[in-house]
Amino acid sequence: MAILDDLSGFEFEDLMEDVFRNLGYENVRQAAKTADEGRDVVMEEVVDGTRRAVVVECKHTATVGRPVIQKLHSAIATFDFAGPKRGIVVTTGRFTNPAREYAESLQENDDPYPIRLLDGTDLREIADDIGLDLYNGRIEILCDEALRPYDHATDATAPVTAAFRDIENIDATNLPEPRSAVAFRPVVTITATTNAVFETSVGVVHRIDDRTRFVVNADRGNPSVAPAGVTELIQENRHATVPVDDDRFDSVFDSVTKHRFGQTQTEYKEWAVETLRARKTTTVKYTGGNNVTYTKTCEPKRSDISVQSIDAVYLPEIRHTTDLREYSYPLEYYAAGPSRVTLTDGIHDCVHCETTGSEDYTYCDNCGAIACATHIKTERLEREPVCTGCAVTERFALKTKYFYDTANRDAFRQEYAAMPYHEKAMENKPLAAGGILVTLSLLFFLLLGLLTAGGVI
């Protein structure tokens, strides 16, 4: 394969590490590049309940002879593992007949360290079987699974209806059909272990031995660790996926976009290693033999970090837009069936101020605005909600009144002109109440004065 021929030996080892990880092997890692003892990649598998070590020799050469197979056999025998062991030799080229005969004899004689041979032709077949495409000498992530973009027990726009139920003065079941779009965003879940020991002349001053799992936003550009809510959404729903194809959701959404994974598996692995190195680096203090306190920066080496798995899936990003008269209301979220992580909720935002997330929002049927309590008034003529953004105002009895339009205002002018004085006064109830209190107070003091002057009190 021409692509494989262009790789360096180290790049070929990186490639094979990714291939074996995709084949389902566990704890896949490379042996130290500086001391090749006949094993380039080591990993584990579980067969019939028994865990077995697999030692791999990668040969980026045109032909592989018998001595390579014999060298690996010795390396397997000396490999420190408490359990059964076997080997694999993988090459971009082919094996000589003596090499194949030696490997076959190990199988036939039930040798405790059998060895399997994989040549360039086998690599092509493996790539096809695991759904991977080799390009530029590395593995591109090709994924055909996505978290469910909506709950199939309901309608895809059900979250819109649910959101509008919190809004006063609107029938959430009688909304116009929203415009809906789905973008399948690539994400990978990376699992890695870090094992590092830091020593000085006084002994071990710091030790790292842990397992880390994190979700990475994998769109083109720089990868980034997903927020906690998104990570939880993916990890809790990873078992429930649907196939992604070009026309599967065309009848459900107005727009369907599938983004491509921005990097190769090897690049994600390298990024994860560097990310964990930065995360795990710490400075410790210790006391030397001379009772002097020292500080030491403990930064794991690349070889201290082993990427166990890279699990790819598409995360649906849904955007619904509902048009109501003069306004449009977006609702955007990541979806996994009935579970969601909200990105934008324009339904619970006041269109007239920055108030957001409050429970008290009311719909203005006059202009289509959704507004907070501060910007919603009662229309004087119709006694219905109207927002301050569209209302026509005029003061009656020293109090501002709100109207849908000038026609309503003019109609109320005529109604107000025909009112008796006491009804006009009631258009400003606080003022009217204050006037009554003042009048009663004056009457009280007048009566008190009369009674005093008459000698009654």
Pairing of strands 26-30, 41-47: antiparallel
Residue 285 neighbours by CB under 8 Å, 6+ apart: 293, 294, 295, 296
pLDDT of residue 265: 77
* pLDDT greater than 70 at residue 37: no
CA distance 392 to 267: 61
pLDDT of residue 1: 44
Condensed to tens digits (0 to 9), the pLDDT of residues 83-102 reads: 999 999 998 888 999 999 99
pLDDT of residue 367: 97
* pLDDT greater than 70 at residue 455: no
- Residue 321's nearest CA partner among 449, 174, 115, 157 is 157
* pLDDT greater than 50 at residue 2: no
Condensed to tens digits (0 to 9), the pLDDT of residues 322-355 reads: 999 999 999 999 999 999 999 999 999 999 997 8
CA distance 335 to 151: 9
Is the CB of residue 395 less than 8 Å from the CB of residue 401? yes
Across-strand partners of 313?
A: 187
pLDDT of residue 23: 87
Condensed to tens digits (0 to 9), the pLDDT of residues 247-294 reads: 789 999 999 998 888 777 778 888 999 999 999 999 999 998 888 999
pLDDT of residue 31: 76
* pLDDT greater than 50 at residue 82: yes
CA distance 212 to 198: 20
Condensed to tens digits (0 to 9), the pLDDT of residues 181-227 reads: 999 999 999 999 999 999 998 999 999 999 999 999 987 667 899 99
Per the prediction, the chain carries an average pLDDT of: 87
* pLDDT greater than 90 at residue 76: yes
Residue 97 neighbours by CB under 8 Å, 6+ apart: none
pLDDT of residue 181: 97
Q: Which helix (H) or strand (E) holds 140?
A: strand 138-140
Residue 8 neighbours by CB under 8 Å, 6+ apart: 60
Listed in sequence order, the DSSP H helices in 187-319 are 228-237, 265-280
What single letter denotes the amino acid at residue 399?
K
Higher pLDDT, 426 or 294: 294
* pLDDT greater than 70 at residue 136: no
Across-strand partners of 283?
A: 297
Q: Which of 122-136, 260-274, 426-440 has the lowest mean pLDDT?
A: 426-440
Higher pLDDT, 371 or 6: 371
CA distance 50 to 257: 44
User: In the structure encoding, which two tokens stand for residue 307, read together?
Assistant: 């990427």
CA distance 43 to 28: 4
* Share of residues in the chain with pLDDT > 90 (%): 62
Is the CB of residue 338 less than 8 Å from the CB of residue 151? yes
Cβ burial 283-295 (10 Å sphere, 16+ → b, else e)? eeebeeeeeeeee
